[in-house]
Amino acid sequence: MIAVYSLRDVISDGKEDKVKSLLSSFRCSLDRDAERYLKEKAIEHDIRGISRTYLAVDEGETPEDDTVVGYFTVAVKCLSVKENHNISAEIADKMNIDRGTAQAYLLGQLAKADGTGKGFGKEMMDRAVDIFIEANRALGCRVIRLDCKDRLVGYYGECGFVPVGKTKDGILNQMIRILA
């Protein structure tokens, strides 16, 4: 059975060493940076309150048999919007842009382990969006943002995201989705 755990809860239960060994077997050949982030940064970022990471764990007969089949990381990160942006008026209005800045939730990472079935990423995306919906209920803020490679623009388009520009270095696409 696959269960989703907050890394924060696991760490505060005093199981940091256990979780480190669980993360060490995570492989994501399509995106080595996402693999490295989980192994090298996710715990530190959670402890510092920079972001929250959620692990999708395929639970085995015993805890030793558990494997991480995917993860996502969420955070808060505002988005700069240029004056000459080409975002549609309808979307720009919903972004509540104030002096060139839109407050936003960030989907910082989304990755599944090698060998995990097609479509599992979208299931994790749904879980992430549920978290943003809860945050929106409590705090407001309607924008979910992410940065992605050209190859994934179509994929995130299918998940309801629209492109709004490029990162400063011009490498990644900035995409947003509006919460209802």
Ligand X SMILES: CC(C)(COP(=O)(O)OP(=O)(O)OC[C@H]1O[C@@H](n2cnc3c(N)ncnc32)[C@H](O)[C@@H]1OP(=O)(O)O)[C@@H](O)C(=O)NCCC(=O)NCCS
Q: Please tell me whether residue 14 binds ligand X under the rule CB under 6 A.
A: no
Give how many residues touch ligand X by CB under 6 A.
16
Q: Which tokens go with 127?
A: 């879980």
For CA atoms 42, 44, 50, 52, give the dihedral sign.
Answer: positive
Binding mask 29-68 for ligand X (x = CB under 6 A): -xx--x----------------------------------
Q: Please tell me whether residue 110 binds ligand X under the rule CB under 6 A.
A: yes
Q: Please tell me whether residue 108 binds ligand X under the rule CB under 6 A.
A: no
* Alpha helix positions (H), the chain: 7-12, 16-24, 32-36, 42-48, 89-94, 120-139, 153-158
Can you tell me whether residue 89 is helix, strand or coil? Answer: helix
Nearer to ligand X, 49 or 119 (CB): 119
Nearer to ligand X, 87 or 113 (CB): 113
Q: Which tokens go with 49?
A: 């309150």
Give residue number: closest CB to ligand X: 121
Q: Please tell me whether residue 119 binds ligand X under the rule CB under 6 A.
A: yes
User: Helix, strand, coil proportions of the chain in percent (round to 5)?
Assistant: 40, 30, 30
- Which residues form the interface with ligand X (CB under 6 A)? 28, 30-31, 34, 110-112, 118-122, 148, 151-152, 155
